[in-house]
Structure 1
Amino acid sequence: MHGQNAAARIADIEASERITPLDVLELRRLVFRDGVVTGSEAQALFRLNDACPDQCAEWPVFFVEAITDHIVHQARPAGYISAQNADWLIGAVSRSGVVETRTELELLVRVLEVAKFSTERLAAFALAQVKEAVVEGKGALMQGGELVPGVIEKAEVDLLRRILYAFGGDGNIAITRAEAEVLFEINDAVASARNDPSWNDLFVKAIANFVMCASGYQAPTREVALRQESFLDRADANIGGFLARMASTGGRELLAAYRQSVDIDADWEARNQWHDACARRAERCDNVEARWLAERIGKDGRLQENELALVRFIKETSPSIHPELQPLLEKVA
């Protein structure tokens, strides 16, 4: 924003504690008139967002667009979220590690979606916001009181899937250990709850993707591997019954749907992208990840139902398994 008029306008809006559609229209004209959203402009917009609890519907759209433009396209290196810029964004959108508004949460996810590359920490931080809502009942997702702590609903699963997709760009095709850690923590917290069936689908396939990569197997891309299956939309609302059927068939329901969705022969472009990414990742892969996973599954002394489905799924889909995981697979008939 430029000149004293802009500064005075910002001060007026802050003092009113209210952002109107006319304010947004004027701010949009001032911010974007030279095609550059500067650091000082981004900070001013964050101050406005904090100072004005009364916000029109146009404000979140403009705020997310402007800040995303600044951190992804204007901050250096353009298109890439450096560790320093990731730290700045995390500090700007959170208080004591928790994102408190849906606008700021949408900004965080949108930055991940638009950037060509971002640090693992930023993606893990975004996933952790879902965990805070599920486990602690804190954060932006709890606004409106529609979600119940200790249970994972479809809206939360959809957001997790969106974050995992977003971090899949520029070669980040395999699920990372940091992401797997958060997914396991969520799973531990909701193990005995009546969760939406889509959670079991996402958990099994996300961790399977991590395992296959740790084993050196050329698994499909995130987008293909995590694609939501239509059969889950028809699944019984009784989660226990659904998992029992999955377990009784050795995971064949999930396996068949997975194979149908992946259809490697029909996804040549995805397969080629994965081949390149897998080659890069294989250079830095060692026994640490496989050992961590072997210890992480069933760490409470028993296999939870979707962990059992996961192990069976891995056993049936992976042509080669890392030696560290063999003892785990031998527990499953």
Structure 2
Amino acid sequence: MSMHFRDLTAQAAADGAISAEEILTLRGAGWADGQMDPEEAESLFLANEALRNPGPDWCDFFVEALSEFVVNTVEPHGYVDQLMGDELVSRIDRDGRVGTMTELELLVRVLEKALSVPDSLKAYALRQLEDIVLSGEGPTRAGVLDPKGINEVECRLLRRVIFAAGGDRPAAASRAEAEMLFRLKDATLYDVNAPEWDRLFVQGVGSYLLGFGGKEPLSRERAADLEAFMNRPGAGIGSFLRRMLGADVDAETSKGFSSLLSITPHTPDLDDEVEEAARLTESEELWLLDHIDADEELDPLEKALLQFIAEETGEEPLRS
């Protein structure tokens, strides 16, 4: 490890501050030999913990340097093994929580940068974000207790983690992630949430149920289809809710979704493989029924999700 690098990080830890010039020097010293070693990585963590008010220059450097170290140190490059994943969690975890926004950003960036990560690493990241939303405190709240709703920063981080390349289902939500989205929806249903939340819930759960992306990254065309649905005049969330909130939901609704899905479908052009995936299986429908029936209420986001499914499948879900 470069002595100059170690001296600079040690000085930053002692002073609780670091200048832009020092960060520039660290960039050169840290990659003088083309890679960062474990001692240099550790010194960055120690400095980050000591800095009182880290600025954007430091945050950018910290995340860039350590995400590169975590993802590309161990062969084969791009694959984070269990040992490295566990080491990252142990280094940033404080009493079960991520301590700073810089470390939370590092965690998310590793998931985005890596081709594959241990399931436990992604689960840890999602658990951190869920705990922040439910408790109302954490780095995304800037240290202020605010237990109401999901804010814009949290929506963006959740989206990045759920659709990260390194997860178990790249470009689509897994079952565990869809269940987490339902928990967050139920917990924040009557709070003031960021505008991005409605779209994230519908697209996230919809991608799990309809298999968008499957084992391959979502194509630009399919991503455009999803975005077009959410933005299309007359068929997006806003107009759908206006129609549904004025409709009667009778007792038959609890037995199936026919009254909700009797709309003119919009079926995009799909190739055979994707078209086959874009169907609700019996187990998927039972899963959906269980989650919608859990609170014995068909809320606005659940209505939007059903509309989305109906338009994408072009048919009613299977009945149990």
Match of 1:330 in 2: none
**Residues paired across the two proteins, number:** 302
Q: Give the deviation of 1:17 after TM superposition.
A: 1.9
Q: Give the deviation of 1:98 after TM superposition.
A: 2.0
Aligned CA RMSD, in angstroms, stands at 4.2
The 10-residue stretch of structure 1 (102-111 or 298-307) with the greater mean CA deviation from structure 2 = 298-307
How much identity, in percent, do the aligned residues show? 34
The 10-residue stretch of structure 1 (221-230 or 197-206) with the greater mean CA deviation from structure 2 = 221-230
Q: Within 1, Cα distance between the matches of 2:205 and 2:245?
A: 17
Q: Within 1, Cα distance between the matches of 2:233 and 2:127?
A: 26
Cα distance change of structure 1 residues 14 and 220 upon mapping to structure 2, 3 Å threshold: closer
Match of 1:106 in 2: 105
Match of 1:82 in 2: 81
Q: Within 1, Cα distance between the matches of 2:232 and 2:94?
A: 36
Structure 1 SS opposite 2:163 = helix
Pair 1:2 & 2:2 matched:
yes
Q: Give the deviation of 1:34 after TM superposition.
A: 0.8
The 10-residue stretch of structure 1 (135-144 or 61-70) with the greater mean CA deviation from structure 2 = 135-144
List alignment gaps of at least 5 residues for structure 2: 248-259
Q: How does 1:97-246 map to 2 (within 5 A)?
A: 97-143=96-142, 145=144, 148-167=146-165, 172-213=170-211, 223-224=223-224, 227=227, 231=231, 243-245=241-243
Aligned with residue 289 of structure 2, among 287, 290, 294: 294
Q: Within 2, Cα distance between the matches of 1:264 and 1:107?
A: 38
Q: Within 2, Cα distance between the matches of 1:66 and 1:322?
A: 48
Structure 1 SS opposite 2:13 = helix
List alignment gaps of at least 5 residues for structure 1: 266-270, 279-285, 328-333
Query: TM-score by structure 1 length?
Result: 0.73
Q: Within 1, Cα distance between the matches of 2:295 and 2:48?
A: 43
Q: Give the deviation of 1:213 after TM superposition.
A: 3.0
Answer whether contact 1:100 1:140 (CA < 8 A) is retained.
Answer: yes
Report the residue type matching 1:133 in the other structure: I
Query: TM-score by structure 2 length?
Result: 0.76
Report the residue type matching 2:189 in the other structure: A
Match of 1:281 in 2: none
Report the residue type matching 1:139 in the other structure: G
Q: Give the deviation of 1:299 after TM superposition.
A: 1.0
Q: Within 2, Cα distance between the matches of 1:183 and 1:28?
A: 39
Report the residue type matching 1:57 in the other structure: P
Q: Between Structure 1 and Structure 2, which shows a larger proportion of helix residues?
A: 1
Cα distance change of structure 1 residues 201 and 9 upon mapping to structure 2, 3 Å threshold: closer
Match of 2:42 in 1: 43
Pair 1:96 & 2:95 matched:
yes
Q: Within 2, Cα distance between the matches of 1:231 and 1:287?
A: 30
